Amino acid sequence: MHFILLPMIFLTVALLGGVRIGLDHALIFVAPPLITLVLAILLLSLLVRGRLVELHRWLATDQAPLTNVSHGWLLLTLFFASAQAFNSALPERGLLHWLFSFFFLWTLWNNQFSVFDARRLLRSLIVLFGTAFVVKHILLANLYGPEGGWLTKVAGTLLRGASLGTLDATPFAPASGYLAFFTLALYLAGLFLLAFHPPGEAEARLAAPTDREFLIDVDAIRQDKAESRVERLLP
């Protein structure tokens, strides 16, 4: 799972996080802005603090080099998936982009000083990404979208006019919202998998004796005991 499934999940998030579908149904690829990389680093540090990523188990000198490389690669895919998850939830331009970035930055920075465990961290991330998704893909998309009633259009125009165009947002096809929902859900699913099956467990399982080997051990002990009894009985 940690060598194939999780990297594939995180890479898929990295792929879909920057994909938007234009009003003419054309694919638009949005590369992650610099701020998303900063946010991803903050989130990774939070994942380490919340023990969702246990660096001492992921990268250890007593592990095989190939295992360390695989875990390092998983960490890298997690970083890019985090950056693209933010990219998916952030508005593309204007003041809203910076407002959302500041909201993310403030939340992540504050969380750096809170006491976290993996479950609380996951709940917090669901709320964080969920809020951003609802505001961007439901509220703003309806306000700035080409479809909608006259009231929506009036509200959108008023908001744009009152903010002198700084609160402008790029309209996308509704499919973009579905894509973003799937991307964020996939990202969170990846984190859940990581929380319940952390890397290092598989190696520990490998090092532990299997049932068959355990029975062999027990048999051997029994045999040894029987032999020693026979030795004692013999003159």
Partner 1 sequence: MSAQRELRLRTCGALRAGAPALPDQQRTMKTKVIQVSGLLLTLVYAALILWLYATEPRSFKEAASGAELAAGTYQINQEKFAAGQRLFLAEQFRAARAEWQQADPAQGDARTQFYIAYSFYREGWGRVYYDQDLFKQGLEAAKRAANLSATSQLTVADPNLQMHTVAELQAELEQGLERTLSDANPLKVFRTRK
Q: Which stretch in 125-133, 173-181, 189-197, 207-215 sits in contact with partner 1 by CB under 8 A? A: 207-215
Side-chain half-sphere CA neighbours of 198 within 13 A: 16
Bridge partner residues of 19 (DSSP): 29
CB of 66 to partner 1, least distance (A): 5
196 lies in the binding site for partner 1 (CB under 8 A): no
138 lies in the binding site for partner 1 (CB under 8 A): no
What does the alpha-carbon distance between residue 105 and residue 183 come to, in Å, rounded to a whole number?
21
Question: Is the Cβ–Cβ distance between 203 and 67 less than 8 Å?
Answer: yes
Residue length, the chain?
A: 235
**Smaller CB distance to partner 1: residue 31 or 55?**
31
**Please, which of residues 63-92 interact with partner 1 by CB under 8 A?**
64, 66-67, 69-70, 73, 77
- Which residue intervals of the chain are DSSP H helices? 5-16, 34-49, 55-58, 65-89, 94-111, 118-133, 141-144, 150-162, 174-196, 201-207, 211-233
CB of 70 to partner 1, least distance (A): 5
CB of 175 to partner 1, least distance (A): 13
Q: Which stretch in 99-107, 144-152, 174-182, 213-221 sits in contact with partner 1 by CB under 8 A? A: 213-221
Q: What six digits make up the tokens of 172?
A: 């996308």
CB of 29 to partner 1, least distance (A): 5
Residue 112's nearest CA partner among 124, 101, 98 is 124
User: Contact positions toward partner 1, by CB under 8 A?
Assistant: 3-4, 7-8, 11, 14-15, 18, 25-29, 31, 64, 66-67, 69-70, 73, 77, 202, 206-207, 209-210, 212-213, 216-217, 219-221, 223-224
